[in-house]
Structure 1
């Protein structure tokens, strides 16, 4: 019975890593922003809604969760877990509250790229990279986790500042969001801790621990490349094949193709279906003051 449970846990852990990689590969995971639905709901939201939003945002923050998973990976003593998680919590609470309160922001792709580097760093540390490749002791983990918490909190703040927060009750809104983040973090850490505690009892933990951390590092690297690519799009939009005008054409075509009869030929004179419709003359137009052209 116990062996069966452990086997299932091993499967879940491996599946978790692959799901994480697949999630990062999707466009929605480039920068885990807030959906249009969340942005609309928050306009007249109360403090409980900010708590809910903070919790769901943390649970959908794959980069944050992956970093925490790396921190938890080899921790076995409850005191150590509390120490490091407290350092991380204090760090991200500081920047989340104060950066949002004072309107300090940065390009969120760039911030998320740095967060991806923290994932790579923790996996490198778990693999003994400092000792093996740099011939040095690992930096003090407590201070590093605190510093990385500051970075992660800044990333959360850039997302929160995308919402129309207003000025009434701003501090309580920020604190409510942070409370939600902490609740989401507790839920995620509880699941991670339970899985790791069961997995460590099986010999496969020793066999797959190295491969797991290599996978974490590769996933962090993939996320880093994606965030840097997103940053390039925001800073140098004209350097990509789809410039602003072409991009608008693509969306126009997509909207046209959504119509049920968009691809159904019609007789232009009678308005009835025809097997041999007359071609339309292309309409000359321009976008945002660009050059006149036709499709």
Structure 2
């Protein structure tokens, strides 16, 4: 339990997992050109742990190039549709909840990789290509909710969004290239067959942890009056919770010495018996 609380304290406070739009991003784009939007899109994808985990699950067992292209194209079309049109028309939702759903897509794909629908639910899995497309729509909406945090200009809005999307695709290509290199090398070893199930179980666990993290963030967002803390204070509170649960180094030393019934002492003298 202590280890879990410690992990949560790191997850909730770490900026590594905070792939939203920072104040620096907002300031940079006040007078930004299209290249800055491309750069931001690429950076957002490369630091988007949830998007990357989902893509890793999608390509995990794909060995033929045409299959990789087919599934990645379905995902790309899906997330491009919602990213572009949701941003243009200002369609919004709470980004923590959208990211929570995205975390579930990671769990879903890993569960599908384990043939979980047939083994554990005794049903046929839905068409995975259409599911990847549908999940792409969700991921794109998540990207849109983050992009809409920025001070988007009215003039040149469409080109700015398209530039951001180009950056997302560029980041996706870079990430996929690295993933495919790792997977292609791993598949040539005996350990792939041995640990592929464990890897997908790890994806399910990661997706579940991300789900809890986003629901935690949503709770703080909705009930902000109950948590009047900035991020640094929030981190320290979680660390203090961990410290409070840790066993004290002096635990057990401040106990009364129980003397036998016939043992007594006089004043400061040594305990003795008559």
Shared topology, TM-score over 0.5? yes
Work out the CA distance in 1 between the residues paired with 2:169 and 2:81: 13
Work out the CA distance in 2 between the residues paired with 1:107 and 1:151: 13
1:127–1:210 contact (8 Å) kept in structure 2: yes
Work out the CA distance in 1 between the residues paired with 2:74 and 2:190: 31
SS at match of 1:113: helix
Work out the CA distance in 2 between the residues paired with 1:67 and 1:27: 21
Work out the CA distance in 1 between the residues paired with 2:50 and 2:15: 13
Work out the CA distance in 2 between the residues paired with 1:22 and 1:42: 32
Within 5 A, what are the aligned runs for 1:109-128? 109-128=96-115
Kindly state the Cα deviation for residue 31 of structure 1 after the two structures are TM-superposed. Answer: 4.6
Query: Does residue 42 of structure 1 match 2:24?
Result: no
Residue number in structure 1 paired with 2:212: 225
Residue number in structure 1 paired with 2:61: 74
Kindly state the Cα deviation for residue 34 of structure 1 after the two structures are TM-superposed. Answer: 1.7
Residue number in structure 2 paired with 1:211: 198
Q: Among 179, 186, 197, which residue is 1:192 paired with?
A: 179
Deviations 1:226-249 (A, max 9, x none): 1011111122234x4x3x3xx37x
Higher Cα Rg, which structure: 2
Within 5 A, what are the aligned runs for 1:44-123? 44-123=31-110
1:30–1:223 contact (8 Å) kept in structure 2: no
Kindly state the Cα deviation for residue 32 of structure 1 after the two structures are TM-superposed. Answer: 1.6
TM-score, L = length of structure 1? 0.73
- Cα RMSD (Å) of the superposition? 2.0
Query: Does residue 172 of structure 1 match 2:159?
Result: yes
TM-score, L = length of structure 2? 0.78
Deviations 1:180-239 (A, max 9, x none): 00000000001101111111011100011011111110010000001011111122234x
Residue number in structure 1 paired with 2:126: 139
Mark the runs of 5 or more structure 1 residues left unpaired by the alignment: 1-20, 255-295
Runs of 4+ deviating beyond 2 Å: 21-31
1:55–1:181 contact (8 Å) kept in structure 2: yes
- Structure of higher RCO (CA pairs closer than 8 Å, 6+ residues apart): 2
